[in-house]
């Protein structure tokens, strides 16, 4: 069962990374649903292509760390780096799930935008799931 969850999580991270690469190369699908909107209109930020590329690389790196921490990659065995990276990644996902007290996460105040609907139904639960998987991977 644990192995299925690890591979499922890696698949999720890889797919999200591919989506970010799609955006790096000019793709527009889904862009309006992934950036929070201000109450007065407009987006809270406009990510640059290299920032999106960094996120894509980070997500792929997270998938390798998860595989390595669970001894599923022959060339990268579990070690203190993978353990501490898993801890850090779990904290990052849990902090994202908690939110910024305004636009995203459990604590968001702006609740009637397209982004906030997706955040409530998909992004925040996904961050909690990812945080739990990374937490479980460094506990064992």
Structure confidence by residue, pLDDT tens digits, 68-77: 999 999 888 8
Q: Which residue's entry shows tokens 């353990």?
A: 83
Tens-place pLDDT, residues 85-107: 999 999 999 999 999 989 999 99
* CB 106, CB 99: distance < 8 Å: yes
CB under 8 Å to 37, separation ≥6 — which residues?
43, 44, 110, 113, 114, 115
Does the structure show a pLDDT above 70 at 1?
no
SS (H, E, C) 82-136: HHHHHHHHHHHHHHHHHCCCCCCCCCCCCCCCHHHHHHHHHHHHHHHHHHHHHHH
Does the structure show a pLDDT above 80 at 39?
no
Tokens of 39: 């109450």
Does the structure show a pLDDT above 90 at 43?
no
Q: For the chain, how big is the Rg over CA atoms in Å?
A: 16
Q: Which stretch of 53-57, 112-116, 119-123, 132-136 has the lowest confidence by average pLDDT?
A: 112-116
Q: d(Cα 136, Cα 130) in Å, to the nearest integer? A: 10
Tens-place pLDDT, residues 13-32: 999 999 999 999 999 999 98
């Amino acid at each position: 069962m644990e192995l299925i969850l690890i591979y499922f999580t890696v698949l999720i991270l890889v797919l999200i990374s591919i989506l970010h690469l799609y955006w790096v190369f000019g793709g527009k699908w889904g862009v309006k649903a992934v950036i929070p909107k201000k109450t007065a209109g407009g987006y809270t930020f406009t990510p640059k292509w290299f920032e999106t590329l960094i996120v894509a690389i980070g997500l792929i790196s997270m998938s390798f760390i998860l595989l390595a921490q669970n001894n599923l990659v022959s060339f990268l065995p579990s070690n203190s780096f993978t353990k501490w990276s898993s801890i850090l990644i779990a904290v990052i996902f849990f902090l994202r799930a908690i939110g910024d007290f305004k636009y995203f996460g459990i604590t968001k105040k702006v609740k009637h935008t397209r982004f906030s609907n997706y955040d409530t139904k998909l992004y925040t639960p996904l961050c909690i799931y990812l945080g739990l998987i990374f937490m479980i991977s460094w506990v064992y």
